Structures are given as structure tokens and as C-alpha cells.
Chain A
Amino acid sequence: MLRLIAKFLKILNSETETSQISLAFCFSMIMGFTPILSLHNLFILLLALILNVNLSAFILGTIFFSGIAYLIDPLFHWIGVKVLTASSLKGIWTIFYNSTLCRLERFNNSILMGSLILSLLLFVPLYLFINYLIKKYREKLLSWVRKTRLMQILKANKFFKIYSSISEFGGEK
């Protein structure tokens, strides 16, 4: 875990493309919010591995968003029920229901539908927001962070050794 955080910090503090980190977070949001053993998550995993997104950010993000998902589980359920029981959408859901692939996806579950819809809706805003945050961080905070007392303490302990070893021997970009 420490190694994972160290890797992430290294990338955050490097010149790595911000979009690689942001996209990793967005994929991890879908993975973390929705039930892990869903069919679409196989596709998300495939995308995360094939597309050149930051895997440390993806794994950390998945853990983070899974925790958030547990907290806002009632919201997912509420959204899911509203969407699945909307009379205007009944026709399309009935078609989906009769499709084997969609049934395998288990789209008719309130939590899955609610979490998937919310994560898809937040996908682009989150991408832009994280991009913005990383840029601002690198412009204004990075040099200050490096000089902070906290960073000095961190440098002295095991965590920094891991951080350094990754920096020295190169790691994932």
C-alpha cells in the first residue's frame, strides 16, 4: 500500500500527463461505485489496462471510491429505483430485460443502475476537475510541499525510502 501511495505521489509530482491520472480516477470511480463483480467492470478493467492511464491512481481510486460507495449506497438505491421504475423508460428496460447480455449485467438491480448512472454522469466533470486540480497543484503547491516540515519528516522515514527507490530506479510513468 505504501509503495502504491509512493508511486502515486511520484507521478503526481512528475511531469506525467494530467489526463492519464484524471482518466484513471474516472475509471476507478465507475469500478468503485458499482458492484465490483459486474460485467461492465470487466470492460472498465480492459480499458484501464489497454489505455495508457496511471494504474496506481486507478487502484488507489478504486479503493477510495469503494469506500465512498458504501457511504452513499442509499443514494444509489434511490436513483436506481427512480430510473428503473420511470414509466417513460419502461419500454427500453423491458427490451434490456429480455436480452441475455443485459441480464448478465444485472442492470435491473437498483444499486447497480443507480451507481452506474451517477458515475457516468460524474465521469466528465470529474475528469475536468481532477485535471484542473493537478495543474494547480503542480503550479502552486508542489514547490511549497517539497519544502514543508511534513515532507521533511516523511523524507526521513521508510516511506521516503520507497519513494526514492521508485524515483531512482524509475517506475511506471
Chain B
Amino acid sequence: MKKWIRWQGFSLFLLTIIILCLFWFMFIDGFIKRIIEKNGTKIVGAKVELDNAEISVFPMGLKLEHLRVTNPDEPMKNAIEIERISMSVDTMNILRRKMIIDDMTLGGIRLNTPRKVSGAISKKKATVPDKSQKSVSKKSLHFPSFNFPDLKEILEKEDLESIKLIELLQTDISNEEEQWKKKLGDLPDKDKVSEYKKRIEKIKTEKKGLGSFMGAAKDIEKIQKEIKSDLKKIKGVQEDYKKTIESLKNRFSQIEMAPQNDFNRLKQKYTPSIENIENFTQLFLGEKMRQWIDTIMIWYERVKPVLNRSKEKKDRKEDVRPVRGKGIDVHFKENEPLPDFLIRQAKVSLIIQAGDIEGTMKNITSDQDILRVPLTFLFLGEKLQDIRSIKIDGILNHISPEKSDDQVTFNIKGYQVKDVVLSDKNRLPVTLKKGLVDLELKTRLFGKEISSQMKTQVKSAELFVGVQDEKNQIASAMGSALSDISGFTLNAQISGTLDKIDIKIRSDLDNILNNAVGKLVKDKALKLEGELKTEIFAKVDKPLKILKESMEGLNNIDEKLTSRSNILNNVLEDTLKKTDLGGLKLPF
């Protein structure tokens, strides 16, 4: 080789590097913008759009303008819209492929803003949890109708089980009677007994000599065998009969209890439940609260994978199959471990209808197990429109993903509410026309177990109750009681697991309503119960008597069987006694 070094090559190398840098500076902003939009859309399952992205090198940072994230469930709305995002990035850690954002500012955040064009994408991501899978447990509390049903209507509409059973047994008894009569006919009767007697008499009269004497003895023995056989047959039939009678008697005993069962069933069905009357708040707000919790759960399920990435990563390691050309990254112990992504501090400015809420979030990362510090947040808003103050703070601790501990406290004071629908039931629609609300909500999610307490005080309240049926005494009384209320408290307790959440709501409204209508409802219920019982028993009484007579009629068959058995026994005994056959005693 004549000459090993090609110095113009070095210039070419420098030129290549400069071109690459120029290319980077010219196109990197657009490239970053497209990456955010593409990956954001993929994660959310609806369009994520960005007006502009700008990277700065010294110091390393990124600015984003007007980020819009479509709500995948409502494509004509943005779930979140952020006016500006700016962040400063730790340069050295970028070289180590770690995105450590020391400081981040999110300004002008708006929620649920309308969109001009739909943000739906053709392939909607199916990550939204199925509401039916994880839902709040629904207790069987039904909103009472307040209308007490007419007794005649109940009895016309409802079939009594007692009557059905009586009719069935009556039919069975008739069938049995037929069968037993037939069987009785097949058994030896009076004619048969007379025949036996005639044959015995004949033997007595025909005794002439030793030969005939021996023949008579044989004949008598034959008659005795026949009688014994008949007796055995009667005994067998009698035993079968007793079993049948026993079974029918058992059924009869059950039928005697059936009217009471009918009464209990209809009472439960038609008499208003006292439990429902005593817990109106649960009825009013339970369903609404379930809807709120369902919505919170959906968002929690969306956020959870971000908080628990480390756990999923470990779980996935077992069956990892590298993408072609990508391979896998093998990780080693770091001297100063840091997550792959971390926002040390984010200042957030949230714009809601009532005004601005300022907040700070610290240590946002999906690798809390590496950072060993939980995510914390605090949002404050004061002197807002219709709200005196609002404070939301919490800790999301996923340092140990399997023992995650999330705690959130929500505090709102002096919230002037207007036209809040408490109950949209047709029977008793209730609206809180206005009121001043103080609310404190403390929630803890430990692993999968949730515990939450909500204390609400409503002052200067004006309730509007739209009773549609003025004739309905109970609804009217309730409406009147609610209209007079000027303040009330509302406490809710949420417990259970994420799969099955139980809500208990208590309020002093319950006492007020119970005082207003509780006695009325109880009196009406008692009256209905009394009348219902009398009617049912009266309706069943006659068929039951007839049935009893039929049962007694069956006893005649037993008497007949006993009588026949006795007669045959007498005949048999006669043949066994010393028989006078010409002064000689028969050898039997």
C-alpha cells in the first residue's frame, strides 16, 4: 500500500457530520411532533394532535404547543387540552438513554373541551375496561312505588300454591281409591268364606268309616292351607295400603301449611319494604355514585399500567420474543439507579369553568421500584367562581407494585351548587335547586382493596320535589318533608375490592323522610298483611275440608280389609278346634 492515510477523507467525514447535524436541526422538531402524535394516538386509541414541538439543545429542553388528546369514548371532545408544555431535560442522562425531566410546566390545561372534527380513529383501541366486568356491586334495593295494590287485584292476578296442591292431592286420592277398590275386589270376600264353610260342613256330614275319615282329614288340611294363603294376601295388601296412606297423610300435612307460605310470598311481594323506606338516600344517590365510581375506575385502569410498568415488564420477561432487528436490552445493576423516564417536578395549571387551579406533581415515573419514591401531588384553587376553595392532594405509592398504596384527599369548601338532580325517578324526582356544599373525600386504594369516606354538608339548601301523583299519600308526604329541608349531611362509605365495590350512603335525610312517611307506610303495610291473610285462608278453607273428608273416606278400605281378615281367621280357628268326626279326634 503506497499511501495509507487519505486526509481529504477526514474533511468528508466532517462534512457528513455537519450535514447530519444540519438535517437534525432542520427536521427534528417535525420528527418529534410526528412521534408524539403517532405514539399518543396509538396509546390513547383516539387522535392526539400537537401544533408545534421545539427542541432546544443548550440547555436541553422541549416545548410543545397546544396538545390535544381526544376522548376515545366521545370523539367530538378532547379529554384534555394543554396550551403549552415546557420541560428541561437532564442532558447527561439523555446520553444514557434515560429521559429525566427536572422541571416541567403544563400551562392552560382544559378538560372535556369540544372538537371541531371527530378525533376517532378507524381502529379503536380496545383497552377501555368493560364496565360490566368491574362494576360496583348493586344491592337489591328497589325504589318503592308508594302505591299499595288492591287486595282483589292481587288475588286475581296471583295463583295460590295451596289450591294447586289441594287439587293435585284430591286427584291422587280419587285415583288411589279406585285402585284400592279394585284390589279389594280381587281379595277373598263373603262368598269365599261361605264356600269355605260349606266345604267344611260337607266334610263333617260325609264321615263313614276309617277310609273316609282319613280323606276328611286331608280335605280339612287343604282348606286350612287355602285360608292361610288368603290371609297372607290380605296382610300384604294391608301393608301396601298403610304405606300409601302414610304418604298421602304427609302430603296433606304439607298442604295444611301451604296457605301460610302463600301469605308469606305475597306479603313479601306486595308490601313495601321497611328497609327501602329507611334508606332513601341510598336509593336517591346510590346509582349516581355508582356511575361516578365506574368513570373513576375506567380512568384508573388507564393510568394504572403507566404506574405499574416495572411489574408488567418483569412478568413479560418470561416469554419475550424480540422483534426482528430490534433484539432485547439486557439490564445490569446501576451505581445510581434511575428510572428510564422521570419527571422530578411538574407544575400544572388547570383551567376549569370556575377558574384556575394550580398544582404540583412530583416524581412521575413508571419505575417507582427503581426510584424508591412515590408520586405526590397537590392542587389548590381559591376564590373561584362559586367555590371558596378546592384542594386535592395525594400519594400514589407503587414502590412495591404488588402492595401499591394510593391515597387521595379531595376537599372542597363553599361550593354553590345549582340545579343538581338528586333523583330522576318518575315517582319522586328531586332536584337540589341551590345549596352551599362543603365536601371532604378521603380515598385509599391498598392493593385491590378500596376504602373511602365522603363527608358532605349542604347548607342553605332548596330542594324541589316534583310529585306527579298528588293522590299518593306517601309520595306527597315525602315531597312535603323534602321541600321543608334547608340543610342536610350526606356521608358515604365505599369499601370492598376493585372487582366488587360496596357503597353505603347515610344522611339525616333518611331520618327526616322516615319520620314523615315511615309510620304511614308501616300502618298501610300492616293493614294489607291482615287482609291478605284472611282472604287467603278463606279461599283455601273449603277445598281443604273436602280434601280432609276424602282422606277419611280412604280409612273405610282399611276397615274392610281388617274385617275380611278377621272373618277368615275365625274360619281358620274353627277348623283348628277339635272337630267331631264320629267320636274321633282329627290329627290336626
Q: Name A's B-contacting residues (CB within 8 A).
A: 17, 19-20, 35, 45-46, 48-52, 70, 73, 76-77, 80-81, 84-85, 90, 93-94, 96-98, 100, 103-104, 106, 108-112, 114
Contacts and interface: CB of A to CB of B under 8 A. Distances in A.
A1 B218 CA distance: 134
A44 to B, nearest CB: 11
Nearest to B11: A49
Given A77-B327, A108-B329, A46 B13 contact: yes
A49 B327 contact: no
Contacts of A106: 97, 329
A94 B16 contact: no
A110 B333 contact: no
Main secondary structure of the interface of A (DSSP, over half): helix
B96 A111 contact: no
A97 B9 contact: no
A73 B324 CA distance: 7
Given A52-B5, A77-B327, 12 more contacts: A49-B6, A49-B10, A49-B16, A50-B5, A50-B10, A52-B1, A73-B325, A90-B332, A103-B95, A111-B322, A112-B327, A114-B327
A172 B384 CA distance: 76
Contact of A80 (B6, B12, B327): B327
Contacts of B97: 103-104, 106
Contact of A98 (B6, B7, B92, B335): B335
A85 B330 contact: yes
A76 B9 contact: no
Nearest to B97: A103
A81 B97 CA distance: 20
A120 B219 CA distance: 126
Contact of A50 (B13, B16, B96, B324): B13
Interface residues of B, number: 29
A45 B95 contact: no
Interface string B1-42: 111111101101100100000000000000000000000000
Contact of A76 (B4, B10, B13, B327): B327
B6 A97 contact: no
A90 B327 CA distance: 19
B234 to A, nearest CB: 94
A51 B332 contact: no
Nearest to A94: B332
A90 B330 CA distance: 11
11 contacts: A20-B1, A45-B13, A48-B9, A49-B6, A50-B9, A52-B5, A52-B9, A97-B332, A100-B92, A104-B97, A109-B327
Given A45-B16, A51-B9, A97 B322 contact: no
Interface in B36-54: none
B330 A108 contact: yes
A104 B97 CA distance: 7
Interface in B57-76: none
Given A46-B13, A49-B10, A73-B324, A93 B1 contact: no
B182 interface: no
B331 interface: yes
Q: A-B pairs with the 9 shortest C-beta distances?
A: A111-B327, A49-B9, A110-B327, A97-B332, A84-B330, A103-B96, A94-B332, A50-B9, A52-B6
